[in-house]
Amino acid sequence: MQLKRVVITGLGAITPLGNSVEEYWKNLVNGVSGAAPITRFNAEKFKTRFACEVKGFNPEDYFEKKEARKVDAFTQYGVAASTQAMKDSGLEAEGIDRNEIGVIWGSGIGGLDTFQTETFGFAKGDGTPRFNPFFIPKMIADICSGHISMRFGLRGPNFTTVSACASSTNALIDSFNYIRWGKAIAVVTGGSEAAINESGIGGFNACMAMSTRNESPQTASRPYDKERDGFVLGEGGVALILEDLDHALARGAKIYAEVIGGGMSADAHHITAPHPEGLGAKLVMERALKDAGLKPTDIDYINTHGTSTPLGDVAELKAIQKLFGDHAYKMNISSTKSMTGHLLGAAGAIEAMATVLAVQNDIIPPTINFANPDPDVDPKLNLTFNKAQKRVVNAAISNTFGFGGHNAAVVIKKYSK
């Protein structure tokens, strides 16, 4: 089979750093933190009282008021981002075969806020079951892809991947494969998550996974810093339009970059902790490079999973050093979670978008909040601390790793004919 080339022709973003691609990228390059005290509920009694919330989002910009009440926030974010991306791509135009355009989405949790609202309401009642008829359709993790397909009449492959924090990278890889195998001409892909509520904050606190730097939220996400104490929870939705190159060229589409490979692996080690030597992380990058037909020396930048957790940051860097050898010191590496926080199932999408824009613009977004060197982190690695750096980025990798040991990596390349 002659595999088709796959390019990115549209982007959309609802993020803690802004509700458009332009605003997100500007703040990312400028090293702006999206973290602040939680506004959604009274977090006074929680160990963590801050998060990277989406700010200034009005669902009625994308939904009728009545319709907005029928969908969870994670779906609102996903549909909004997809609406931006479809407009950006030009695929809304008449004459394009919507039977051949799919939606492959990623979410690790889905409608957690809906689940919490309905169960809290029942618990506070007299035991009489009074549930919203939209409870289940609002909550299920696959529903966002359904809403996106209905919004645009897209009848191609349609499903949602669930692999914790690797979910939307898995969705992107599946989209890439469906197009290069000739099973779709384009796919709306990405991910969304909205878990900033009592259940989300309380649950991750119970896991001892999140930072408790309540006195300084904006500096709490500090990957690779000796004083890091956990991730900062984020939320939002990001969409990417992947398209068959021939189809994109035939309609004169704008092309951001090309997707050339993807890899998947499992740590097979622990439900929440990474393998201490980064075995699964090394394996997933090896597979992504092999799929892309590249050598380690071809990579200019890695957008790491880099959650700001004591174990995870070091394990991933060990994997990079083992795989890339001396070339590890010639690449740029950065964690954009230092600014966006951790979007869970949408992390792969928001970081793939950062990687696409780094390739397109030849700018490496920084790892902010670094102040104290960690003796377990090699100081010779260029972790792009605190300030963006300019360099030619011909090829880059975006890594995502999830609870359960799920690993996924995608390779993005500068487009050339």
Active-site positions read 165, 305, 342
CB-side exposure of 72: number of CA atoms within 13 Å? 35
CA distance 266 to 245: 31
Closest CA to 145 of 103, 87, 86, 191: 103
CA–chain centroid gap for 1, Å, is 31
CA distance 54 to 237: 9
CA distance 290 to 286: 6
CA dist., res. 101 & res. 258, Å (int): 18
Longest dimension (CA), the chain: 66
Instruction: Tell me which DSSP letter residue 275 carries.
Output: P
* Residue 8 tokens, joined: 């990115």
Q: Exposed, middle or buried by CB within 10 Å (0-12, 13-18, 19+), for 361?
A: middle
CA dihedral 244, 186, 288, 27 (to 10 degrees): 110
Q: Are 220 and 62 in contact (CB under 8 A)?
A: no
List CB contacts of 257: < 8 A, sequence separation 6 or more: 7, 8, 356, 359, 360, 412, 413, 414, 415
Name the DSSP class of 127. Answer: S
Please give the structure tokens belonging to residue 354: 């950062």
Residues facing 189 on adjacent strands: 104, 240
Q: Please give the helix or strand (H or E) that residue 362 lies within, else none.
A: none
